Chain A
Amino acid sequence: GAVVSQHPSRVICKSGTSVKIECRSLDFQATTMFWYRQFPKQSLMLMATSNEGSKATYEQGVEKDKFLINHASLTLSTLTVTSAHPEDSSFYICSACRDVSYEQYFGPGTRLTVT
């Protein structure tokens, strides 16, 4: 149990376009999901907390207009990178939080390359 999926696993997009990444909790409900960004050989950097039915909470320094987060249901959160630039190229990881235990379960990540 406690499986989290992300789609797509890899995406290449052109500069100026938008790309959407989906995060799904497959076998449990998650009121809260998290989005992280990870640069090569570095730790996970929390970008935002996604709350079902309400606006996401962004960490300091993260552009909320560039990284749009929607938590439409108890099993799905999406991250849309708008007007992507090459510097947005990175590995994006989501996690879903079990409501009862607060344990976080991680998705397999999405590698975004902006050309």
Chain B
Amino acid sequence: AQTVTQSQPEMSVQEAETVTLSCTYDTSESDYYLFWYKQPPSRQMILVIRQEAYKQQNATENRFSVNFQKAAKSFSLKISDSQLGDAAMYFCAYRSQGAQKLVFGQGTRLTINP
């Protein structure tokens, strides 16, 4: 079974600075998808970014980018120019190719200091 590990329960960063959240996963599959979800205080889960394992290029969405290292099974999220609205729980998630279930990591609580 696949597992996802987020080793940083909490992170904090100064506003306008850059922060990187870590995620590692364990799988024997070669085709899969990886996601970062944001859960702000409203508790609504919001998709931040997704990465297809077959793509070597790292996904980018505005200030959010990932560092996908397939061989190392690592999938970190970089948030540039941090804003107060980025404060949230961030969950890394894995989905097998052809499957619908998501496997979530434990989450990282990100605090933005003004």
Using a Cβ–Cβ cut-off of 8 Å, how many residues does chain B contribute to the interface with A?
Answer: 18
A108 to B40, CA, bound (A): 11
A22 CA to B8 CA in the complex, in Å?
34
User: Shortest Cβ distance from B76 into chain A, in angstroms?
Assistant: 18
Complex CA distance for A93 and B46, rounded to whole angstroms: 13
Cβ 8 A contact of A41, one of B98, B100, B101, B109 = B109
Q: Please count how many residues in chain A sit with their CB below 8 Å of the partner chain's CB atoms.
A: 19
Chain B: CB-nearest residue to A46: B101
Interface: B44 (CB within 8 A): yes
Q: Give the distance to chain B from A39, nearest Cβ to Cβ, in Å.
A: 11
Q: Does A42 contact B (CB under 8 A)?
A: yes
A44 within 8 A of B: yes
B58 CB to nearest A CB, Å = 20
Q: 1/0 per residue A22-63: CB within 8 Å of B?
A: 000000000010100010011110100100000000000000
A41 nearest in chain B by CB position: B109
CA distance A46 to B100 in the complex (A): 12
Contacts of B62 in A (CB 8 A): none
A55 to B79 alpha-carbon distance, docked (Å): 41
A34 CB contact (under 8 Å) in B42, B43, B101: B101
Decide: B42 and A102 in contact? CB cutoff 8 A: no
Beta-carbon contact of B105 and A97 below 8 Å: no
Contact B43 A109 (CB under 8 A): yes
Q: A34-B101, A41-B109 are in contact. List 14 more A-B contacts (CB 8 A).
A: A38-B43, A42-B106, A43-B104, A44-B91, A44-B104, A46-B101, A49-B101, A93-B43, A102-B99, A103-B47, A104-B102, A106-B46, A108-B42, A108-B43
The residues of A with any CB-CB pair to B shorter than 8 Å are: 32, 34, 38, 41-44, 46, 49, 91, 93, 95, 97, 102-104, 106, 108-109
